[in-house]
Structure 1
Amino acid sequence: MNIWRRFWCALVVAIGVGVSVPAFADSGGIRLTIVKGGWILGANGGSGALVFHGRRYPLSVGGIDAGLVFGLSKTEFHGRVTHISRPSDVAGVYGAGGAGAAVGVGARVIVLTNEKGAVLELQGRQIGLIANLDLSGMVISLR
């Protein structure tokens, strides 16, 4: 009898875990153009758009970089944002640590998460002359 009781308890727990999955999260396409520059301390800013359920939502980007930053670059990102239920879930604070350099044209790939759980998976082309070893903070907001 004891083995059957354990079996049924395990089955109930497994079903309970399956039922308690978080609410369905959606995804959308995103494009961002970010200009980054600095001398020791840096700043970044730009704009872009989120495409969610066939609608386009304009975005603005701004932030700071602390660490070793030297130069100026422009990056055009494209990718997707996941784990969102509505467009406003993209808005928030994103942070990342990074190191890199660009002389002329280079590629850039980054994954960021905000406090609402939205995940940005971005790739793009970076143009400029920049070297960095820094912590970056970026705020994305709907316009």
Structure 2
Amino acid sequence: MAPAVLTAMNASPAAAASGRIEFRVVRGGFILGFGSGTGSLFFRGDRYNLKIGGVSLGATIGLASADFVGRVRNLRRASDIEGTYRAVGAGLAAAGGGAVARLRNSRGVELEVSGKQIGFMASVDLSGLRVRIAR
């Protein structure tokens, strides 16, 4: 094989890859909201426990939990998942207690998640979601 082909084959592990994420968030509040949760990242055959925060800042009334699952794109290493996420495009769309969101952090990692909310919350907002690997 040509040296350029061998180099390209050896470079593939460092290339951006996809993973899977699942997390549960409990949100609540009256006037000012709070939210936190836990989850898992499944990436390159390993599972990483996650801590979730920063959900539901702003005016809220109620209490709810939501389970989300989805894809993680543009990971080079598991630690790239860490950061604060902002909505991409239309952000969160809700229908019949379900929600779909596309979010991105400063490292370019994208989450495409869908979930189902249990309970009542007047305001649902995943923009500002903070994710870190539990250590």
Q: TM-score range by the shorter chain?
A: 0.7 to 0.9
Counterpart of 1:59? 50
Letter aligned with residue 49 of structure 2:
P
Structure 1 residue 95 displacement after superposition: 2.9
1:85 aligns with 2:99: no
1:141 aligns with 2:129: no
Letter aligned with residue 93 of structure 1:
T
Structure 2 unaligned regions, length at least 5: 1-13
Inter-CA distance 63–78: structure 2 relative to 1 (3 Å threshold): same
1:117 counterpart SS class: coil
CA deviation profile, 1:106-134 (whole Å, cap 9, x unmatched)? 11111110011100000011100111176
Structure 1 unaligned regions, length at least 5: 1-22
Counterpart of 2:111? 120
- Residues of 1 paired with 2:55 and 2:105: CA distance? 16
Letter aligned with residue 35 of structure 1:
V
Note if contact 1:101-1:129 (Cα within 8 Å) is conserved in structure 2.
Answer: no
- Residues of 2 paired with 1:80 and 1:40: CA distance? 32
How many residue pairs were aligned? 119
The within-5 A match list for 1:10-29 is 24-29=15-20
2:86 corresponds, among 69, 72, 95, to: 95
RMSD: 2.5
Structure 1 residue 38 displacement after superposition: 1.4
Name the one with the larger strand percent. 1
Letter aligned with residue 72 of structure 1:
L
Structure 1 residue 136 displacement after superposition: 4.3
Letter aligned with residue 106 of structure 1:
G
- Residues of 2 paired with 1:133 and 1:56: CA distance? 28
Question: Which stretch has the larger CA shift, 72-81 or 88-97?
Answer: 88-97
Seq. identity, %: 45
The structure whose Rg is larger is 1
